Structure 1
Amino acid sequence: MTKQRQIITNRVAFLEKKIPIYASFLGLIGLLAIWEIICSLNLVSPLFLPAPSAIVTTGWEMLVSGEIYENLVPSLYRIVMGYIIGSIFGVLIGLLLGFSKWADAIGTPVVYSIYPIPKIALLPLFILWLGIGELSKVTIIALGVFFPVVINTFSGVKNVDPILIKAAVTFGSSPFNVVRKVILPGSLPMIFAGLKLAAGTSLLLLVSAEMIAAQNGIGSMVLHYGNLMITTKLMVGVIVLSLLGLTFNRLLQWLEYKLIPWK
């Protein structure tokens, strides 16, 4: 019996053992090593797949020359503005749809009927309405962010325990306080799920919009060097986009940890 308990204890200890931080980088390091070996053996033409070392060298040159900075700044402006605007309206409308039966009955069919439309298909229309400047690009990103956020916020409100809402109303809380102190905190996990989903959508729309209707930006840079078949600089742009998406994801995780410490 003692031996069996010891076996169970060892298994539990193994399952609870913390994985070292460096383990998260092993897969990435292994992939880069294999990639470098394949390129160094000339198994693939550098035109189609440049070596990681060549990409790093080219990226450093573009960073020193300021080319990355010149394209990154307008991209950051577009995605940050679009993301913030879309998120704010998405949360507000989602709370309204979830809290008000009239708003739910009127607004939910509209949201679900427009949501399946590929947002990038509306870019030519926004350019016609708003011009080819920054406003049309920010608007298309905001629209793409709005729908995942509003749908997740709406779902989060609907999943709040109704007993908590009834208790707050019974104790005399106003509708505003019910939303602020009960519904909003209870909906935060789903809201952040929508925000994370919207982050990927915003990056996709940013690149698409810049490839179609922009003279600068990371998406425009990637398209430009793709047309010129300068693969190393194209890959630098792809890596910058990847780092941008990773940064957004980590920032949202940090914000979620601060706002939802009980999760």
Structure 2
Amino acid sequence: MGETKKYIKNRVAFLDLKVPGYAPVIGIAGLLLLWEIVCRLGWVAPLYLPAPTAILAAGWEMLTKGELLQNLGASLYRIVLGYLLGASVGIIVGLLLGFSRWADAIGSPILYSLYPIPKIALLPLIVLWLGIGELPKVTIIALGVFFPVVINTFSGVKNVDSVLIKAAVSFGSNHFNVIRKVILPGALPVIFAGLKLAAGTSLLLLVAAEMIAAQHGIGSMILHYGNLMITTKLMVGILVLSMLGLLLNRGLQWLENKLLPWK
């Protein structure tokens, strides 16, 4: 019995260990060090996998020449505009589907029939409709963001505990206050899960759209240097995308912590 209690106590103490804030840095630094060693020892040809230091040098060269900032600016414009548009419409439509049985009955079949279609497959048709320019790229990103956000918003509203809604109504809350103070706070964790999922989708569609129909942007830059087999500059684009994904995720996590302090 004494050994069992001791084991449980040690197990609980292990689970309660606090992870220091620099732990993620250790993981990334270790990966980069291993990568550099592998390249320095010649285990992989530089054409296939350039060393991190070579990628850093290429990135600095592209930065000083203005090439990197030009492509990054074009991509940021598209992804920010497309993400905000798709997320805003997705939340509004998801709330409408969740609140209204009529909207659910009419809109859900349409939503779930369109969701499985690969959004990038629609790009030629969208270009035909909207012409060549920024609008088709922003639209395809917005479409990719819209579906995960609207589905998660709809699920979040539907899964709010009905007991809480009935309690609010019993204490005299009107319809607007029930939505604002009970349903929305209850659905927000699921909505943020959809927003985070949509962030990754937006990056995928950004790169695909820029590779197909853009002269500037990170995706276009990656395709250009891939065709020229300049892998150092190609890897600069991939690492920039990785950093964009990390920043998007961290930004959404910060916003979630601010809006959901109880979580």
**Same fold (TM > 0.5):** yes
- The aligned amino acid for 1:105 is A
CA distance in 1, matches of 2:7, 2:107: 58
Q: Runs of 5+ in structure 1 lacking a partner? A: none
Q: TM-score, normalised by structure 1?
A: 0.95
**1:48 partner SS:** coil
Q: CA deviation at 1:7?
A: 5.2
Over 3 Å counting, the alpha-carbon distance change for 1:4 and 1:171 in structure 2 is closer
Over 3 Å counting, the alpha-carbon distance change for 1:37 and 1:165 in structure 2 is same
- Mapping 1:36-47, distance limit 5 Å: 36-47=36-47
CA distance in 2, matches of 1:201, 1:169: 39
**2:209 partner SS:** helix
- The aligned counterpart of 1:154 is 154
Q: CA deviation at 1:16?
A: 1.1
- The aligned counterpart of 1:17 is 17
- The aligned counterpart of 2:94 is 94
CA distance in 2, matches of 1:147, 1:14: 40
- The aligned amino acid for 1:17 is L
- Mapping 1:141-180, distance limit 5 Å: 141-180=141-180
CA RMSD of aligned residues (A): 1.6
- The aligned amino acid for 2:195 is L
- The aligned amino acid for 2:144 is G
- The aligned counterpart of 1:208 is 208
- The aligned counterpart of 1:51 is 51
- Mapping 1:77-226, distance limit 5 Å: 77-226=77-226
Size of the aligned set, in residue pairs, is 263
CA distance in 1, matches of 2:221, 2:193: 31
Q: CA deviation at 1:116?
A: 0.2
CA distance in 1, matches of 2:220, 2:93: 33
Identity %: 73
Over 3 Å counting, the alpha-carbon distance change for 1:34 and 1:168 in structure 2 is same
Report the more deviating stretch, 132-141 or 25-34.
25-34
Q: Runs of 5+ in structure 2 lacking a partner? A: none
Over 3 Å counting, the alpha-carbon distance change for 1:115 and 1:4 in structure 2 is closer
- The aligned amino acid for 2:65 is S
- The aligned amino acid for 1:66 is G
CA distance in 1, matches of 2:3, 2:116: 59
- The aligned counterpart of 2:238 is 238
CA distance in 2, matches of 1:7, 1:84: 50
- The aligned counterpart of 1:227 is 227
